[in-house]
Amino acid sequence: MLVNRIKGLQSLKEEHGYQTLLVTNPKSIEYLTGCRVSFGLFVLENSGCCLYVDRRYIEALSYVGDIAPLNEFNLKPNCSVVIDGNYATHERIQSIKGLQEFQSDDLVKRLRMIKDPSEIQKIESSLKIAEEGFLHVKPMICEGARELEIRKEFISHILAKGAYQSAFDPIMAFNGNTRYPHHHSTSQQFNKNGLALLDMGVIHNGYCSDITKMVVTSEHKERDKIIEVVEGAFDIICKAAVVGNKVDLMDKAFVNYVISCGISEDHIYHSLGHSIGLEVHEYPVIGRSPELLEEGMVFSIEPALYFNNFGVRLEKMFIMTNGGLVELNGI
């Protein structure tokens, strides 16, 4: 069990006046206990906590201490219950013995927004492997190279460097395919006047990274102007990121900047970025969040513009500090 995180959750629970909190999201259970389970129930009461799991996990997780078989869990009569977040399905809720009425609240999600030093170190290690993967495949992007070949090479390299797996299916988009934000790699070949967009991430020590790089092998006036605009967006975004400001001010700053460059906001297809940690997309999302910026938040910020025949996206990772956003990328 990760005592400080559980104490933080206990404080939040008491602050809201909740008696019993049930956590069912496997990633939130991992955050609180350090245990990776596909199915479990973390129970936090005023008297303490316990992790209930399938019997197949009991022996492997014996070091945890407060652990018990899932079928032994039963709610105390007439207790007030809160289920953390909206992860649990109706079927899952129905399977909890004694559960009749409950509330829902995102307490763990709010705790997970702020990364502690050990989490930041793991994120940086994950990012380093992702960047090494990019540097490995970048020289291979030349006339005749295929998207699927580069994808395969990236995955093989990060696994050889110690990654658990890719954080998501890598996006290797060449030429016109760069205009699709969630392109799936194909046998498309890179041409001599081409453009490549590589969106890559790694899971290492349980934590994720997420970066996007562009590879250009020739000059093209219209395209190069857009790349310059997107590169310049990071300075504007960073100026809007101040502890205590709303998260969404970064998104608004980007939109206003794009318009000031004479480009319609219709060319912005998605949110500016997202928090990142145990999962590649965590709360809050930049563009759809009422949250205020706090020290310790880690973001993957990805300004992008898309047109009929190409798209440009760059993605970097940052940590929020009292002095502003600090870039974590090494390249």
Same domain, 146 and 178: yes
Name residues whose C-beta falls within 8 Å of residue 188's C-beta, 6 or more positions apart in sequence.
146, 147, 174, 175, 177
Residue 104: pLDDT band with limits 50, 70, 90: confident
On whether the CB atoms of residues 180 and 197 are closer than 8 A, the answer is no
Average pLDDT value for residue range 214-225: 92
Q: What is the pLDDT of residue 235?
A: 98
CA dihedral for 150, 151, 152, 158, sign (positive or negative): positive
What percent of the chain clears pLDDT 90, i.e. is strictly above it? Answer: 74
In terms of pTM, does the model score above 0.85? yes
Dihedral angle at the C-alpha atoms of 187, 192, 193, 194, nearest 10 degrees?
Answer: 30
CATH number where 83 lies: 3.40.350.10
- Write down the mean pLDDT value for the chain: 92
Q: What is the pLDDT of residue 95?
A: 67
What percent of the chain clears pLDDT 70, i.e. is strictly above it? Answer: 94
Name residues whose C-beta falls within 8 Å of residue 103's C-beta, 6 or more positions apart in sequence.
18, 80, 81, 82, 83
Residue 152: pLDDT band with limits 50, 70, 90: very high
CATH number where 168 lies: 3.90.230.10
Residue 97 has pLDDT above 70, yes or no: no
Q: What is the pLDDT of residue 54?
A: 86
Domain endpoint, select from 112, 145, 167: 112
Q: What is the pLDDT of residue 57?
A: 83
Same domain, 76 and 206: no
Same domain, 125 and 107: no
Task: Identify the residue whose tokens are 């039963």.
Answer: 74
Same domain, 300 and 165: yes
Same domain, 53 and 36: yes
Euclidean distance between CA atoms 114 and 119, whole angstroms: 9
CA angle 126, 275, 164 (to 5 degrees): 25
Residue, of 36 and 258, whose pLDDT is higher: 258
Domain endpoint, select from 54, 87, 112: 112
Residue 89: pLDDT band with limits 50, 70, 90: low
Q: What is the pLDDT of residue 167?
A: 98
Same domain, 167 and 107: no
**Lowest model confidence (mean pLDDT) among 67-81, 203-217, 300-314:** 67-81
How are strands ordered across the β-sheet holding 282-286? 282-286, 273-275, 298-301, 316-321, 324-327
Same domain, 159 and 253: yes
Helix (H) or strand (E) holding 286: strand 282-286
pLDDT (tens digit, 9 = 90+) per residue, 240-284?
999 999 999 999 999 999 999 999 999 999 999 999 999 999 999
**Structural domain span for residue 278:** 117-327
Kindly give the pairing relationship between strand 103-105 and strand 316-321.
unpaired
Same domain, 79 and 121: no
